[in-house]
Copies of this chain bind each other. A is one copy, B any other.
Amino acid sequence: MPSRPPSVPDRRVTLADVAARAGVSVPLVSIVMRGVAGASPENRERVRRAAEDLGYRPDSRARMLRSSRSHLIGVVFGVQHAFHGDLVSGLYPAAEALGYELTLSAVTPTRDEPRAVAGLLQDRCEALILLGPQLPTAYLGELARKMPVVVLARTVRHRDVDVVRTDDSAGLRQAVDHLVGLGHRSIAHIDGGHNPGAAERRRGYHAALAAHGLSDAARLLSGGLSEDDGAAAARVLLDLRPMPTAVTVFNDRCATGVLDVLRQAGMAVPAEISVTGYDDSRLARLSHVALTTIRQDAAALTRAAVDRVVGRLDHETIGAREQILAPALVVRQTTGPPRSTSAP
């Protein structure tokens, strides 16, 4: 539901202006605006009216300056990263539900992670949520000693850093199990190099093959997180003899590149080769892509991340540092039985 555009006051309207108009003191207006106890119903109503008439908007800077709490959570995200978009979308409502605000800091080609973090520190956020950061663990640890830090969608082993992530190893096992169930015996993996989650997913791939007694058929190709990485890997894949009948790919973006190159080379998907992605980002759901993928539940991940941040901020209770959510296989149209085999 689109919210009504708020009216814009002509000049900066302060609590003092509202107080004057309502004929009460400034602190009383503050009490009413914050919605806390301590004002009579009549005054409450009068103040509300005065504020509305004047188009008063609280000045969050001043508010944060005075109360040591800022109720501000800093978020570092990659501006080019489709899945990060899904995560940011989930963080807003999760934070709002607990009375916190978000301040975004983008990582771009010319703005690296330390810069993005520095901007946030200057804004005096109380905690940080980092989406798949590449920062060294030592630095994350240093940050986390000073303020709550939650890393989303990456593994970090440090005693002060909270982690919320999907069980990526299990995710890849699900993908492989699905393909094996369809009858595939020769399954390649295009990995994500050093990117967040890549090592876990590789591990899941190998473990699943081993569980099916197919370790000898393992084929690891080096990929990455972008479409271009997938395209390059697909070209290598096409030269493999014998060609695998299926390939699990590091993430959806990368899988998109793989699909494009395979199809341009005349390979039918899934008739000649099956492809799986990872994330279930917006990309995978597109009707013409219809990518079979492993779903990371963005809403659940973001809720968990915000819960953890707020838990640390509000109560000192400290539970497990790592929260691992289960992934789910989403079967769409890029996987099917291999050509020469009839599926069980």
Contact = CB atoms under 8 A, between A and B. Distances in A.
Contacts of A3: 112, 114-115, 118
Contact of A228 (B5, B85, B145, B286): B286
A65 interface: yes
A8 B145 contact: yes
5 nearest CB pairs, A to B: A89-B108, A231-B288, A104-B104, A79-B85, A61-B61
A109 B124 contact: no
B263 A289 contact: no
A306 to B, nearest CB: 14
B123 A61 contact: yes
A146 B115 contact: no
Contacts of A110: 89, 92-93
Interface in A103-147: 103-106, 108-112, 114-115, 117-119, 121-124, 135-136, 139, 142-143, 145-146
B287 A228 contact: yes
A108 B103 CA distance: 14
Contacts of A135: 5
Interface of A: 2-10, 57-62, 64-65, 70, 79-80, 82, 85, 88-89, 92-93, 101, 103-106, 108-112, 114-115, 117-119, 121-124, 135-136, 139, 142-143, 145-146, 226-228, 231-232, 234, 257, 260-261, 263-264, 282-283, 286-289
A3 B118 CA distance: 10
A65 B79 CA distance: 29
8 contacts: A3-B112, A58-B122, A80-B89, A92-B106, A92-B111, A226-B286, A257-B286, A260-B289
Nearest to A8: B146
A142 B6 CA distance: 10
Contact of A231 (B57, B89, B287): B287
B79 A8 contact: no
A103 to B, nearest CB: 7
> Which among A80, A93, A101 has the highest number of chain B CB atoms within 10 Å?
A80
A64 B124 CA distance: 13
> Which among A143, A145, A260 has the highest number of chain B CB atoms within 10 Å?
A260
Nearest to A226: B286
Contact of A142 (B8, B57, B143, B257): B8
A108 B88 contact: yes
Nearest to A108: B89
Contacts of A80: 82, 85, 89, 282
Contacts of A89: 79-80, 106, 108-111
A85 B226 CA distance: 15
B82 A123 contact: no
Nearest to A59: B124
A101 B10 CA distance: 24
A105 B260 CA distance: 33
Contacts of A136: 5
Nearest to A80: B85
A286 B62 contact: no
A118 B60 CA distance: 12
